[in-house]
Structure 1
């Protein structure tokens, strides 16, 4: 029951964010959007360090001075995997006129949802990996630490859900219900990715440090490639910087206090 609740928490964050389409009349202001994206970036970076990379190296301590190898290799594979997904999966970011990835005759709405879905797969894997460690009774991962990661990603997902559903309502003229479903649907891959990872725990537990670092690399790619550039565009980029700092501190506190 704890594991099911844990992997559903991030999806709940996305759905709650998408529900903003029922509460707000207008699109999210640029300054607020920058702050939210910065906040999400800070949470993802802190989670990558405290919840994923540091535990990966701690698990590899029997390797002595070479304990960095699983973390370094997993991190780079995560970066390269997201680079390939970004290059081939059709998707479109807010404010962009041209879609990225392989050319497909998909609607702009679907491409916008796919842009967020790419982000959510590694986040789901990250949650799945830590709960797989719990299920396998791995002593280096605590239940409180796993829930801290899930809650941190849920907080980060809240603005993402709103940033998907609100523009679909204003720019694509969708009705509120459909815009909500698109926004919430972008997060459904998280519990799916987490569930698959947990089901494969008996196989994956042997390479757990690599998988933790893989998820960290994938999330850092999203932050550096997409979120931070979006917060830096136009005026008042310092709002995004303040949001990043707040998100980083919130996730750090969650992980240290609960882990």
Structure 2
């Protein structure tokens, strides 16, 4: 189950440079659904505005910018995270947090097979109870990983990163959504031709029909984009 690691823009290189200069970063992978959530959630909106890097994860965001004359390319968050992991040297480390029990661990094993010498300092599922959180947070603070991947879904992962960045201020924090599930082999990503044609959302809807309510954000985003342009 190989994943492409070629990159359209060197976001990964920029992030690693930031880390080497002693600057942490929060990466937000923006799509239409997140944009519409942020329209109703001031806290999420502020997290997006404050992030050091916001990449165009969704086709809707790409099309919006193209209507403004900015021909950006889609940058899926799962590919950015993969590129960052491939950039890491033997001196740099990663921690994976989120998902159901066992998934982050399997995702870490997958990447250790993909990248020789990759140092995974640890993994932790995302179902910790309130009494277990302090010990986990203390562990994270002691480890100080170079990269922290958080897979808890939107907006939970963005707000969690906001609240806990102070523990590892020089780290690269990336919200990766369901990427752990794909790396662990629990779920599959859309075929490459669908990804290349901005149809990954359709594949997710086919595999998970219950998502249809969430997919309503796409036409709403398109309408808001048009009315915003009119103003």
Say which structure, 1 or 2, has more relative contact order (CA 8 Å, 6+ apart): 1
Give the TM-score of the pair, scaled to structure 2.
0.29
More helix, by proportion: 1
More strand, by proportion: 2
Give the TM-score of the pair, scaled to structure 1.
0.27
